[in-house]
Structure 1
């Protein structure tokens, strides 16, 4: 404990840094030896560490972490290559990862990942000036306690959120479930919804990330970690990931995600007065970008008229089916959305939907969603109300996420005229591979990925998985930093 006493008593900056560094090394070695034997079962209170009695104290930890906790040193967590360069924040203390099963004692628990609650924390040892009391092992939330006074110096807290995320998602089944969800599997649908990766803060802007076709929120690892690693961004934004089944038409996906957001707000802000509601930022990749764009738009009757000859009031079908279809085709901008960032988004469709793998996938993806069954019943009850080029497909519910991306699809084509509402700024990040003809990322043509009126457009030499590219991540960070400062 000598190192901690030296740090506490140091008065000069150089001496404080030297003593703090020694204290951190000692704490790291102590934790490494103890956690190797007992990584789980940690609660506040006295225990013996290396034969010495130590009082364990939790400070400012997430209310969703229920002891006993599992604890791991952040430096021992293997970071998947897909997650990019490890993002760390240097400072005082030893970064650790805390894990516990998902809570069940309050409504917000259902907005946490099924894999459990994982949070970054920082550990250090404290002793009184006299040095004759039982030392304390402090495990603290570095996002709630930003700095600690050591001697005469205020030092920032060290943290490593990437390690927490990597350990928390290591056993995730989402990548496999996402593919099966595209092909009609139901498990991803049961997990669909909004998932909070941070504790909810009524004053932070939600950064809502929407993945693309046959994908999962794990694609956002690099971007999420870039946000957490930035003191400025992590103090202003909270990361929300969307999980959804990607076999449904894009209009249905938009309607469902609207419902997921509504459900989250009902749990988090039943009074409808949190500032967080008014600063939503959407980030969407590929088909997720289309959904994000539609969450910014007022459809009016444009999409309805592209599909039907009659207004809803003139339809000869069951009222429930008409209402269900109308909810999908007619919508307004989602309340509180202020900005959208589109990555590799096929705003004008994708020729890939016509190729052999697109035709095969159209045969495999599921059709039995409730929204499509309402559409099928409506088309059969009043076939004259449906435009002739869509009558057969609607009558068989033979539409899905891939078919609605076809360049020639009538409703998709009509949707090109819709733009984000006034007051919502939007940005484009697109890939254009060298020597690729026509220019594009191999899936989405560049002409389809660009959108007129964008506040900024960045085109980089990248394939469709542009979310992995450090330049794309840096561009999103730049946009968010400008948004955070009001520029």
Structure 2
């Protein structure tokens, strides 16, 4: 074939090629969802390397090597970044190392699986430098998708990198870790935790658990691995395992060149999620990743604690004392909020409210949450005495010199019967309760000084100076219409009162007025007796105003949305019984009696607590 003929043939071939279905370079239409997936592809989503990482491999002619020997390609790229200070190389290294760690995790070779945590830790190291290292160029931009991807890579890789314990458990210890491109010496810094490090039995990753039963999972975005720090069981913790939300943050103290020399230093810092929101790195405040809901759910995952309230009411838990428990470690600069449960209930029913309030960015920093557990079948004044003594004991323990201004601004929140106990922390009854129940003056009674003192402790009440505000939720100030004779008789048949209480009240029963003995039907009274609308003791408590300087708020449930106050009830307590004159506010929630979990109730409590912060 002549040269002319060959030229003609080539032109024809090119014409056929260009007339085909596609060209070597061109475009293809994408719908918006597909376009988004393409631009945000990440190994964390199982998509393989992102487009910017593919660019880096191509830039240094490593695409083929990465396909056949990814570890070698990572080493080559690592050597490059020691001289080339472009930030996108370190972004790529974080992704590629994470992908390699994932491959090792799935390997059928046990030796390779054993190396996976070290490879994950190296991915966290690269991600840390890509996010925070100031000498890399250009400076990180908030609008760079790779920045958020690197944050996620750091957090997830650090979690996986700490799983060197038995059966993949998290292990926090000093030592040297051998990474694929060098060594790193890690020192654990636990001085920020509220308890001694030796008291913790284990640490678990918060992201390793899903939460059920809580409406909101309180998380804040940042750097670090949210952990559940589980403390050795203590007598002062009744409900569930004692655990606090913690964040592990790996701080790198040297540049990448020291990693290759096996001398990079790092500190694994443990931060209580109740205290620290940020850490300072190279002059900038870096937010910590936190999860404060996980420990709430973790503590309450044990089935038996949900029956504590009923078991105590029925007398099955004779040896469980009334006590004030702290939901979190004590902080002198935070105002205590004390939750008091109602009849046949327990502190677990405050979980939704505590979880929501503790997750609030303002309230979570200014308040600490405590709860009071008691046997709700006992006479109201007996349980109220236990509450007052518990508050006083905690003040004496944590603030004996009265130096904490926060400790002197307590808020007590009570639901149902718990509201009656709350009121008895902040009233001056004088001889009002004695006159309503005892035939004569205490000093004139022909009985022992011990009995006189018992009557005085229960019936002559002075306000606790530290309690400054009360919130009553569905509280039967004038009794419950369910506490009539039939219900009271039924309760007496099914419950077993504590032996000590029976003996104590038995010693003074003869000094009760005829009216009271008639009402209590000659029996040792229970809380249900004293929540009867006709009970003389309850009537006297209802008539007693709050002490000067104490502010009160009422949250009253009315179940029927078509009924307006002063009519209506919540199925247990009428509006007229729950209403108190002289309150700072009164909020109506459309709900049944157990309204403490309702969003409207929680929002009203939040409003009141914010108001409390503004007042001095």
Does the 8 Å CA contact 1:93/1:124 hold for their aligned counterparts? Answer: yes
Q: Find the aligned partners of 2:469 and 2:582 in 1 and give their Cα distance.
A: 13
Which residue number in structure 2 is paired with residue 467 of structure 1?
596
- Find the residue that maps to 1:468 and give its secondary structure: coil
For 1:408-423, what aligned pairs fall within 5 Å after superposition? 408-423=534-549
The yes-or-no answer on 1:77 pairing with 2:77 is no
Separation of aligned partners in 1, 2:415 and 2:178:
48
Q: Which residue matches 2:360?
A: 230
Q: Which runs of 5+ in 1 are unaligned?
A: 104-109
* CA deviation after TM superposition for structure 1 residue 238, in Å: 1.1
2:240–2:301: 8 Å Cα contact kept in structure 1?
Answer: no
Question: How many residue pairs are counted as aligned between the two chains?
Answer: 475
Deviations 1:265-296 (A, max 9, x none): 33223334332331110011110011001111
CA distance in 2, matches of 1:407, 1:50: 73
The superposition leaves residues 325-349 of structure 1 with CA deviations (integer Å, 9 ceiling, x where unpaired) of 2210111112210001111111111
Residues 272-311 of structure 1 aligned to structure 2 (within 5 Å): 272-311=402-441
Q: 1:333 aligns with which of 451, 454, 463?
A: 463
Q: Is the 8 A contact 2:309 2:344 kept in 1?
A: yes
> Which residue of 362, 377, 399 maps to 1:269?
399
Deviation at 1:242, TM superposition (A): 0.8
Equivalent-residue separation in structure 2 for 1:33 and 1:172 (angstroms): 33
* Alignment deviations for residues 134-157 of structure 1 (CA, whole Å, 9 cap, x no partner): 544433223333212456642332
The farther-off stretch of 392-401 and 426-435 is 392-401
Q: Report whether the alignment pairs 1:448 with 2:448.
A: no
For the pair 1:407 / 2:533, whether they are aligned, the reply is yes
Match of 1:242 in 2: 372
1:184 aligns with 315
The alpha-carbon deviation at position 324 of structure 1 amounts to 0.7
| Structure 2 residues without counterparts, runs of 5 or longer | 1-124
Change in CA separation of 1:68 and 1:354 when aligned onto 2, cut-off 3 Å: closer
SS in 2 for 1:434: coil
- For 2:25, the equivalent position in structure 1 comes to none
TM-score by length of 2: 0.71
Task: State the partner residue of 2:288.
Answer: 157
Mapped pair 1:4 → 2:128:
yes
Among 382, 389, 398, the residue aligned to 2:524? 398
The one of the two structures with greater contact order (alpha-carbon pairs below 8 A, sep at least 6) is 1
Q: 1:370 to 1:85 in 2, by over 3 A?
A: same
| 1:296-445 equivalent positions in 2, closer than 5 A | 296-354=426-484, 356-380=486-510, 385-391=511-517, 396-434=522-560, 439-445=568-574
The partner residue of 2:384 within 242, 250, 254 is 254
Distance 2:176 2:570 in 1: 56
Which residue of the partner structure matches residue 106 of structure 1? Answer: none
Question: Equivalents in 2 of 1:355, 1:32: separation in Å?
Answer: 62
Q: Determine the C-alpha separation between the residues in 2 that align with 1:49 and 1:353.
A: 70
The answer for the alignment partner of 1:107 in structure 2 is none
* Structure 1 contact 72–96 (Cα < 8 Å) conserved: yes
Distance change (3 Å), C-alpha of 1:294 and 1:17 = farther
1:102 paired residue number? 233
CA displacement 1:169-217 (0-9 Å, x = unmatched): 3226332222111011235x52431111222122221111111111111
CA displacement, residues 295-342 of structure 1 (integer Å, 9 cap, x when unaligned): 111111111101122101111122211211221011111221000111
1:458 corresponds to 2:587: yes
Equivalent-residue separation in structure 1 for 2:520 and 2:406 (angstroms): 39
The change in CA–CA distance for 1:12 and 1:251 in structure 2 (over 3 A counts) is: same
Alignment of 1:86 with 2:193, yes or no, is no
For 1:457-476, what per-residue CA distance to the aligned partner results, in whole angstroms no more than 9, with x for missing partners?
11011111111101111111
Structure with max Cα Rg: 2
